[in-house]
Chain A
Amino acid sequence: MTCEQAHQAMLGADPAELAGEGASPLAGHLASCAACARRARAILTGARALAAALAARGPRVTVDVALPAARAAAARQRELRARSWRLTAPLALAAGIAALLLWPSRPPTETAVEVLPPELPPFAVQGPPGRTVTVFRTANPAIIVVWYF
């Protein structure tokens, strides 16, 4: 195995193989090539550091524990909201009705009183009995002639 072939094999090798354990061609090469052996140890060191970091950031509870807890929390939120509505709804209703009752229903409006022009009686005349009466309209509308014959 050449060093180039060893570099390719190291990318997919397991930690034991990188440590030179076993009888694989890679392990045999690492035992005989100090440069490749240093590269393999660097890979191992990096892999261990990455595993440690992932372990520190990983979930502390399992899904089986976390899911029921989340369901319980959601149920508590719903209950709190429902209680809040049961308390505030009557208050809001009472406040609304009180506002309707106490608010001035309608300010007294200055309703205009409609006055129609008076219905004036038309011109009329009543003369003495036994006389014939004739009414003449003249060119002057302010003058009317009532003539008895």
Chain B
Amino acid sequence: MTRRLLLLGALSILASACDRAPRLDTRTFELRHRNGEDVAPILSPYVFGDRPGAPGQMSHRGNVLTVRETPDNLGKIERVLALYDRPTPSVRLNFRIIRADGAAARDPAIADVEAALRNLFRFTGYSLLAEAVVGGMERSETMQSVSGTGGPYHLFASIHDVRGSTDSGTVAVFVRLGLPGGGAVIETTVNLRAGQTAILGNAQLAGPRGTLILTVKPELVLN
């Protein structure tokens, strides 16, 4: 009798082991800097919706994300969110408006770009007419009037895309330099590394403005 009971016990344990499914937990994450819609594609490889018997699930609404998965995978998701739920760096655009053929003396304020320009073009000299710093975020637009010699100048910047971190990111930005009543004289879209300077030229203008060159240097700044 005892022997039969022991055998029955062993068989029942075996049977319960055969249909054993992984234990799932449910956790809700409150995102601080991203929307659930943004991070769901990043997290979907960690959610096994096709697991037999215990499918993983994920849902989101606004900045709240709820995931039902194994504790191990929930830990991975938490670590992924720690990496990606970060503030997108803001963009600081440094503009300089430069006139070619404007000066014989070298202007130390534009020494970096002047060296590059002198190797490429035969203008007699370069002078800084105006400079401005414009801040913005990804998918933001900024318009600013800048006073300076021959100004005012109208700067428009539309930041399309920001990728990467502060020290190794890129910024795609549309810039336009306009004059009052004169429309756009320089406009272009460039994709630049953070810290890289694009020299955009040129606009041939009548009068004292002469030949205008616009430089733009994006920088990524953590808020």
Contacts and interface: CB of A to CB of B under 8 A. Distances in A.
Contact of A91 (B6, B83, B117, B190): B6
A125 B160 CA distance: 13
Nearest to A105: B22
Contact of A144 (B72, B83, B161, B197): B197
Interface in B1-32: 2-3, 6-7, 9-10, 13-14, 16-17, 20
B223 interface: no
A109 B72 contact: yes
Interface of A: 86-87, 90-91, 93-94, 97-98, 100-101, 108-111, 113, 115, 117-118, 120-128, 133, 136, 138-148
B65 interface: no
A90 B170 contact: no
A146 B190 contact: yes
A120 B112 CA distance: 25
A123 B10 CA distance: 68
Contact of A145 (B2, B17, B191, B199): B199
A20 B17 CA distance: 93
Nearest to A147: B201
A78 to B, nearest CB: 18
Interface residues of B, number: 50
Given A111-B72, A143-B199, A147-B199, 17 more contacts: A87-B3, A91-B6, A94-B6, A97-B14, A98-B13, A100-B17, A101-B13, A113-B76, A115-B83, A118-B169, A127-B188, A140-B115, A144-B192, A144-B199, A146-B188, A146-B199, A146-B200
B112 to A, nearest CB: 7
Given A93-B10, A94-B13, A125 B71 contact: no
B130 interface: no
B80 A113 contact: yes
A120 B168 contact: yes
A113 B45 CA distance: 12
A138 B119 contact: yes
B44 interface: no
14 contacts: A87-B2, A87-B6, A94-B13, A97-B17, A101-B16, A101-B20, A118-B169, A120-B163, A128-B184, A136-B120, A143-B197, A146-B190, A147-B202, A148-B188
B75 A90 contact: no
Nearest to B46: A113
B170 A120 contact: yes
B112 A140 contact: yes
Contact of B201 (A126, A142, A145): A145
Contacts of B76: 111, 113
B187 A128 contact: yes
Contacts of B161: 121
Contacts of A118: 163-165, 168-169
